């Protein structure tokens, strides 16, 4: 995904000019329920809890984070999809449940394209290609050459079938014309453990998951899948510098049930954007490798549309399916 330039003046102006129905003017009238469709401790959970206190302060009502994990995020997302569209039930999520799960799961509990109203991008996490420390490769070109010399032999770990790490691998294979064996794990942490131990050759992981292992020298980072180099890894080149047009990151955002009044969506977007600009919130997240979001509901809706268009053909070509 590509970075978004935030027009803060436009955001505030839109919120000021938008018609405010009576229900929206009174909002919020009770505590907000912020559903996280993944287990505690993951990046989505960290993001949700990081902004919840600031939203509580700005909105004048408690924002309570609730974890409802399962089915790749679909269980928690379904709770929000079926909630009243009054701005009191929100979903903090990766784009899986609101964009790409519909192409992976044989059946969905909600209609993805019409169930949600996008609010704002929370953050994105850049991907970095890492290899086991005892492997001889020193560049992306080295990995691609090795993969082409031995099709289907090199191994790459992911957090599981259909995870963003799996999708990144499939897109990398599609971009480079390589055949690399996918090794799914139950989460990103076990994949990193096996990468450090040399049980697998490589992983294209989210930076926050693997930054500590890189800086400790336990894995070797070859390239970042971002338009420019990252401040956390200034000596690691981009994929483009290595000769490959590969930019990919995992986005996380906030959505509401479809039909939530636009003024509420705009007010939430402005409040989240302000929270992310607070050094006490955004600074801590940036140190962990997150690229901070913000912006308007329209910005986030456009990002979701691009994600669908990019990943749907990759998922279909790779035959990625989940029950």
Helix (H) or strand (E) holding 82, with range, is none
What CA–CA distance (Å, rounded) separates 251 from 33?
A: 21
CATH architecture of structural domain 126-224: 3-Layer(aba) Sandwich (3.40)
42, with CB counted inside 10 A (0-12, 13-18, 19+), is buried
What CA–CA distance (Å, rounded) separates 74 from 108?
A: 8
Look at residue 131 and tell me whether its pLDDT is greater than 60: yes
Helix (H) or strand (E) holding 300, with range, is helix 297-318
Look at residue 181 and tell me whether its pLDDT is greater than 70: yes
The stretch 151-172 carries a mean pLDDT of 94
Q: Percentage helix, strand, coil, to 5, in the chain?
A: 45, 20, 35
Q: Which residues in the chain are classed under CATH 3.40.190.10? A: 126-224
Lowest mean pLDDT among 101-115, 237-251, 285-299: 285-299
CATH architecture of structural domain 8-124+251-318: 3-Layer(aba) Sandwich (3.40)
Radius of gyration for the chain, computed over Cα atoms and rounded to the nearest angstrom: 20
Non-local (6+) Cβ contacts of 253 within 8 A are: 92, 93, 95, 98, 118, 119, 120, 121, 122, 293, 300, 303, 304
Look at residue 271 and tell me whether its pLDDT is greater than 70: yes
Instruction: Quickly tell me which residue has 């607070």 as its tokens.
Output: 278
Q: For residue 24, name the pLDDT band (cuts at 50, 70, 90).
A: low
Q: Which residues in the chain are classed under CATH 3.40.190.150? A: 8-124+251-318
Give residue 284's pLDDT.
79
Q: Residue 89's closest CA among 98, 78, 97?
A: 78
For 69-122, the pLDDT digits (tens) are: 998 899 999 999 999 999 999 999 999 999 999 999 999 999 999 999 999 999
Non-local (6+) Cβ contacts of 267 within 8 A are: 15, 27
Give residue 5's pLDDT.
44
Give residue 189's pLDDT.
87
Look at residue 260 and tell me whether its pLDDT is greater than 60: yes
Q: For residue 9, name the pLDDT band (cuts at 50, 70, 90).
A: very low
Q: Is pLDDT larger for residue 139 or for residue 42?
A: 139
Look at residue 165 and tell me whether its pLDDT is greater than 50: yes
Residue 155, number of CB atoms within 10 A of its CB: 17
The model's pTM is 0.84
Structure tokens at 88: 């009191």
């Amino acid at each position: 995904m590509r970075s978004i330039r935030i027009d803060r003046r436009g955001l505030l102006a839109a919120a000021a000019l938008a018609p405010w129905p009576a229900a929206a003017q009174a909002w919020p009238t009770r505590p907000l329920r912020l559903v996280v469709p993944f287990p505690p401790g993951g990046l989505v959970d960290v993001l949700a809890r990081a902004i919840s206190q600031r939203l509580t302060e700005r909105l004048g009502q408690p924002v309570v984070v609730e974890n409802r994990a399962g089915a790749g995020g679909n269980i928690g997302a379904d709770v929000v999809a079926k909630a009243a569209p009054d701005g009191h039930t929100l979903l903090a999520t990766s784009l899986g449940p609101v964009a790409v799960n519909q192409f992976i799961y044989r059946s969905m509990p909600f209609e993805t394209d019409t169930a949600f109203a996008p609010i704002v991008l929370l953050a994105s996490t850049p991907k970095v290609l890492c290899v086991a420390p005892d492997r001889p490769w020193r560049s992306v070109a080295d990995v691609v050459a090795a993969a082409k010399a031995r099709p289907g032999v090199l191994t790459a770990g992911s957090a599981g079938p259909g995870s963003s790490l799996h999708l990144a691998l499939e897109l990398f294979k599609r971009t480079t014309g390589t055949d690399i064996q996918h090794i799914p794990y139950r989460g990103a942490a076990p994949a990193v453990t096996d990468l450090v131990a040399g049980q697998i050759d490589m992983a294209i992981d989210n930076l926050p998951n693997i930054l500590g292992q890189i800086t400790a020298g336990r894995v070797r980072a070859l390239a970042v899948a971002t338009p420019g180099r990252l401040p956390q890894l200034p000596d690691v080149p981009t994929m483009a510098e290595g000769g490959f047009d590969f930019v990919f990151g995992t986005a996380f955002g906030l959505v509401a049930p479809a039909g939530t009044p636009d003024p509420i969506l705009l007010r939430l977007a402005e409040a989240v954007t302000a929270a992310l600009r607070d050094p006490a919130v955004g600074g801590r997240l940036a140190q962990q490798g997150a690229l901070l979001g913000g912006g308007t509901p329209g910005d986030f809706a456009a990002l979701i549309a691009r994600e669908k268009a990019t990943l749907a053909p990759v998922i279909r070509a790779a035959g990625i399916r989940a029950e």
